[in-house]
């Protein structure tokens, strides 16, 4: 037994009305999880976590815990919050590697899932366990979406994803890789082939541009592209990251691990305005990432960046850089909506749905980043749980 995990769990007060649970987007029963763990019912605790959140083993690693469960812990008032993520990961990792599923009896209904990120994987687990025949389509050669191609290995070991793939296959999920729905195969083709419902969970993979001179130069790269395969890039010694969200922290820390000597995040506001979580900012600092604040880029040159100060002075300056990584968020790609005009999108290209993920096209549902824009893994899971209910209701009414 892991003594460290036990010590962490023993700090929990076992509140009758745990605010940590209400602070979690998927309402994880944290106090009950810890009670079962300390009572020796670790497998029961693991099953409870998985049934509530099929991506518990992932969320326990990548969630912004200080914003959700740990941030709502009553111990924050006097001492350090319970380390919920560490305890949950210990339990969930043991459970998912130990459990063996049997394919459930078919209920006779097929559901197509387009995109295999957090939203799609969560939905696949929920519906396949109830006997739905799930086929998951993805443009990449391996499933995982942002979990595999957008989160660095030092934050999420990809063997965890590989384990989830094994469990999905045990439940009968069919995975069709290397196919982009909306090109050769359309949503109408899926309905023709007797899928009762279609789910879109394709995420946001089209990087936003700065729209400044120099963005097309060869030493400028978009963060979401860089994270897919950082080892193929030669960034040089000095790398400047434009943007200050969690993705910016990820690419900065990845660049450090891939040989860059100096990595600098340039941001137009102050440290208190940085959108990345406090934890991710602190991790970046520990890794040696530097911050240049109150500087807004106005042009990218062959050897650096021209900027204007946003501290009120309006002064212009120049910052030397061998490479520039643009990390100012992403938008969805439009392959699906271009071939299915019935699906309504907003001005940013995000799919418009109701609170249960129903789109404007009958039988088509969506959730995750393709609906909300770039958000957290746990929020995608929470949304997909609602979608699962809506899909079942829709198919039952056919």
- Fold for the domain defined by 110-206+331-396: FAD/NAD(P)-binding domain (3.50.50)
Q: Strand pairing of 290-293 and 262-267?
A: parallel
Phi, then psi, of 47 in degrees rounded to 5: -65, -40
The pair of structure tokens assigned to 74 is 């009553």
- Alpha-carbon Rg for the chain, nearest whole angstrom, is 22
376, 210 contact by CB (below 8 A): no
Q: pLDDT tens, 340-383?
A: 789 999 988 899 999 999 999 999 999 999 999 989 999 999 99
Q: Report which DSSP code applies to 24.
A: S
Task: Please state, in angstroms and rounded to a whole number, the distance separating the CA atoms of residues 33 and 45.
Answer: 5
CB 383 within 8 A of CB 351: no
Specify the CATH number for 209-328; select among 3.50.50.60, 3.90.199.10, 3.40.190.10, 3.30.360.10. 3.50.50.60
Task: Read off the pLDDT band of 5 (50, 70, 90).
Answer: confident
Cα gap 87→105, rounded to integer Å: 34
pLDDT value of residue 198: 98
pLDDT above 90 covers what percent of the chain? Answer: 89
CA–CA distance, 151 with 312 (Å, rounded to integer): 36
Q: Diameter of the chain by CA atoms?
A: 69
Q: What is the pLDDT of residue 334?
A: 73
Whether the pLDDT of residue 218 is over 80: the answer is yes
Number of residues that make up the chain = 398
Reduced to 3 states, what is the DSSP secondary structure of residue 319?
strand
Domain range list for the chain: 3-98, 110-206+331-396, 209-328
Mean pLDDT (whole number) for 166-189: 95
| The pair of three-digit structure tokens given for residue 129, joined into one six-digit string | 């366990």
Alpha helices (H) along the chain: 3-9, 19-22, 30-38, 42-52, 56-62, 84-98, 118-128, 146-149, 158-170, 187-192, 223-228, 246-257, 278-286, 335-339, 369-372, 377-396
Q: In the β-sheet with 304-309, what is the strand arrangement from edge to edge?
A: 295-301, 304-309, 316-320
Secondary structure class of 304 (helix, strand, coil)? strand
What does the pLDDT read at residue 102? Answer: 96
Q: How confident is residue 79, by pLDDT bands cut at 50, 70 and 90?
A: confident
Mean pLDDT in residue range 212-230: 96
Structure tokens at 29: 């029963």
Question: What's the predicted TM-score (pTM) here?
Answer: 0.94
| Third-level CATH fold of 3-98 | Fumarate Reductase Iron-sulfur Protein; Chain B, domain 2 (1.10.1060)
Interval 223-230 mean pLDDT:
95
Cα 26–chain centre separation: 15
- SS3 label, residue 136: strand
Indicate if 209-328 has the same CATH topology as 110-206+331-396.
yes
Average pLDDT over the chain reads: 95
Rounded to an integer, what distance in angstroms lies between the CA atom of residue 362 and that of residue 124? 20
pLDDT band at 184 (very low <50, low <70, confident <90, very high): confident
Condensed to tens digits (0 to 9), the pLDDT of residues 127-142 reads 999 999 999 999 999 9
């Amino acid at each position: 037994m892991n003594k460290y995990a036990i010590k962490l769990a023993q700090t929990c007060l076992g509140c009758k009305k745990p605010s940590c649970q209400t602070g979690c987007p998927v309402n994880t029963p944290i106090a009950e999880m810890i009670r079962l763990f300390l009572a020796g019912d670790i497998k029961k605790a693991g099953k409870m976590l998985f049934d509530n959140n099929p991506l518990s083993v992932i969320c326990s690693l990548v969630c912004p815990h200080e914003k959700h469960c740990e941030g709502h812990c009553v111990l924050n008032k006097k001492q350090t919050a319970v380390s919920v993520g560490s305890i949950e990961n210990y339990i969930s990792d043991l459970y998912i590697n130990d459990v063996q599923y049997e394919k459930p009896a078919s209920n006779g209904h097929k559901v197509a899932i387009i995109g295999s990120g957090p939203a799609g994987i969560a939905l696949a687990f929920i519906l396949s366990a109830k006997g739905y025949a799930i086929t998951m389509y993805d443009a990449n050669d391996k499933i995982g979406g942002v979990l595999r191609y957008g989160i660095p290995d030092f934050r999420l070991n990809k063997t965890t994803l590989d384990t989830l793939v094994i469990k999905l296959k045990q439940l009968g999920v069919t995975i069709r890789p290397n196919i982009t729905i909306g090109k050769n195969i359309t949503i109408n083709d899926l309905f023709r082939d007797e899928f009762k419902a279609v789910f879109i969970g394709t995420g946001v993979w089209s990087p936003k541009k700065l729209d400044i001179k120099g963005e097309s130069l060869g030493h400028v790269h978009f963060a979401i592209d860089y994270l897919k395969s950082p080892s193929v890039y030669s960034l040089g010694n000095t790398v400047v990251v434009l943007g200050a969200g969690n993705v910016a922290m990820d690419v900065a820390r990845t660049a450090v691990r891939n040989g860059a000597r100096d990595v600098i995040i340039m941001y137009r506001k102050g440290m208190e305005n940085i959108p990345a979580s406090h934890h991710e900012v602190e991790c970046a600092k520990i890794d040696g990432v530097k911050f240049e604040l109150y500087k807004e880029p106005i042009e990218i040159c062959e050897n650096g960046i021209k900027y204007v100060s946003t501290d009120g002075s309006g002064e212009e300056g120049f910052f030397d850089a061998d490479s520039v990584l643009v990390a100012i968020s992403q938008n969805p790609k439009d392959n699906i909506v271009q071939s299915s005009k019935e699906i309504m999108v907003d001005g940013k290209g995000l799919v418009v749905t109701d609170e249960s993920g129903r789109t404007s096209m009958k039988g088509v549902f969506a959730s995750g980043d393709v609906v909300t824009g770039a958000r957290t893994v746990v929020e995608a899971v929470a949304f997909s749980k609602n979608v699962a209910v809506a899909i079942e209701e829709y198919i039952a009414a056919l």
